[in-house]
Amino acid sequence: MEQTILEAKDINKYFHDPVTVQVLKNISFSIHKSEFASIIGKSGCGKSTLLYILSTMDTDYEGQLFIDGQAIRGKKEAELAFIRNEKIGFVFQFHYLLNEFSVLRNVMLPGLKLAKQSEKEIEHRAYEKLKILGIENEALKNPNQLSGGQKQRVAIARALINDPLIIMGDEPTGNLDKKNSQIVFAIFQELAEEYHQSLLIVTHDNSFAERTHRIIEMEDGSIIRM
């Protein structure tokens, strides 16, 4: 049995505005090291909501969450920030790069925050990550000088900078055209196969989901297949 890096136990989530609705119902599952999992399901079934909880950004839920064996519930905001910084890489539908910084600096920021290495080493690593994604030539540009697909690859490089335990993505290809989507998906596959990176990706594209190790399917806040 492989090592479990993420485990959800009986997670329930309610929204109270305007009326109380339960959007997640008894979600329990776990992700192993080096696993490439995808989450699929109809729009509004609670995929994003689940991902925000798993990524520790949303703390308003019931149930238990373990990342790398640590119980997440009840931790302080600063501790959660540290866990996100060190163990989780997040890729959003929108790239969310900081336009005030160069591409390189954007990739470096989470590394500088973690500060486990010197700035020089972090810069070197950032270049390596950009190279994996094939955009090392854009390093010194400003994010708004890049195409949508390039931006999303920068965001993936940023997610990789601290060698996270797991990369989570909420429809990372949702905003891209077919060609760029394929490039990004190929990158995820490469990360999973060659670098044994654990990934948990929410997607609408069933053909992509088919090519992951494991599909978690949701319906109305519950997992119906995993």
Partner 1 sequence: MNFKLIISVSRSLLMARLKQTLIAAVGVTFSITMFITLLSFMGGLNSMLDGLVLNRTPHVRLYNEILPAQHQPIDVSSDYQGDYNFVSSIKPKNERPDLRNSGAIIRTLRSDKRVLGVAPKINAQVFFNVGSIDLSGVVNGIDVEEENRLFTFSDYVIEGDYMDLKNTPNSIILGKGLADKMLASVGDVVQITTSRGERIQLKVVGYFQSGLQDIDKVQSYASLNTTQKMLGVPNSYITDLQVKLLDMNEAPAVAKEMQATFDVEAIDIQTANSQFETGSFVRTLISYAVGITLLVVAGFGIYNILNMMIYEKMDSIAILKATGFSGKDVNRIFITIAMTIGVVGGIFGLLFGLGLSAIIDQIPFDTQALPTIKTYPVNYNPKFYIIGGIFSLVTTYFAGYFPSRKASKVDPVVIIRGK
- Given the rule CB under 8 A, which residues bind partner 1? 48, 52, 55, 57-58, 77-78, 81-82, 84-86, 90, 92-94, 96-101, 109-110, 112-115, 158, 170
Helix (H, G, I), strand (E, B) or coil at 190: helix
69 forms part of the interface with ligand ATP (CB under 6 A): no
Compare residues 55 and 106 and give the one whose CB is closer to ligand ATP: 55
End-to-end CA distance of the chain: 17
User: Would you say 41 and 218 are in contact if contact means Cβ atoms under 8 Å apart?
Assistant: yes
Three-state DSSP class for residue 69: coil
The binder of 44, among partner 1, ligand ATP, Mg ion, none, by C-beta within 5 to 8 A per type, is: ligand ATP
The residue at minimum Cβ distance from ligand ATP is 48
Residue nearest to Mg ion (CB): 48
- Which is closer to partner 1, CB of 93 or CB of 189? 93
Q: Which amino acid would we find at residue 158?
A: R
23 binds, among Mg ion, partner 1, ligand ATP, none (CB under 5 to 8 A by kind): ligand ATP
- HSE at residue 118, side-chain half, CA atoms within 13 A, is 2
Q: What is the distance between the alpha carbons of residues 44 and 126, in angstroms, rounded to a whole number?
A: 36
CB of 72 to ligand ATP, least distance (A): 19
In this structure, are residues 30 and 6 in contact, taking their beta carbons and an 8 Å threshold?
A: yes
Give the contacts of 38 (CB within 8 A, at least 6 positions apart). Answer: 200, 201, 202, 203, 208, 209, 212, 214, 215, 216
Nearer to partner 1, 52 or 185 (CB): 52
Nearer to ligand ATP, 15 or 195 (CB): 15
State the amino acid at position 113 in one-letter form: K
Among 38, 48, 85, 212, binds Mg ion (CB under 5 A): 48
Range 39-68, binding ligand ATP (CB under 6 A):
41, 43-49
| Residues making contact with ligand ATP (CB under 6 A) | 15, 17, 23, 41, 43-49
